[in-house]
Amino acid sequence: MSKISPRDVYELVENNKGEIMILIYAKEPAPRNATFSLNQLGGVLKLNRTKEDIILVAGLDVEAIHKLSKIKQLYVCEIKYTETTGDESEIIRTYAAALKNEQPSAPKAQTKKETISEKAQKAREKALRSKNK
């Protein structure tokens, strides 16, 4: 069993306006044009701090997924990592990450091809309608 680094721990916080913030430990470089996406089926939040620096938050519970699916902006608070738990956490930076929809769109419904029997039935019905006019 692998040991989880304390630096890999995160926390999601929701305020009374429904805004959601993720608390993570700060890292370099500073974020540039941060975005996020949500894989609802997999329960994974993907935070793109930069094009090269991506943080994956897996194992989200159903309620968190539901709430995250409703937001367009995720607020991020990066705090300084300290070895001792008694130290007060220093906020290094805060920013907003915009929603980036990376979910593949639902497959388009394929139109059912008519069988020869169905085509023949339609042709008969059309012919009968035209005779009755």
48-60, pLDDT tens digit by residue? 999 999 999 998 9
Residue recorded with tokens 């700060």: 26
Helix (H) or strand (E) holding 122: helix 116-131
Whole-number Cα distances in Å, 125 to 23, 80, 112, 128: 66, 75, 20, 5
Cβ partners under 8 Å of residue 81, min gap 6: 6, 7, 25, 26
Tell me how far the alpha carbon of residue 52 is from its chain's centroid. Answer: 18
Pair 97, 74: CB distance under 8 Å: yes
pLDDT (tens digit, 9 = 90+) per residue, 46-103? 999 999 999 999 989 999 999 999 999 999 999 998 877 666 679 999 999 999 975 4
For 4-31, write each residue's pLDDT tens digit: 666 677 899 999 999 999 999 998 999 9
Instruction: Give exposure, 45-57, as e/b (b: 16+ Cβ within 10 Å).
Output: bbbbbeeeeebeb
Mean pLDDT of the chain: 83
Tokens describing residue 71? 């937001």
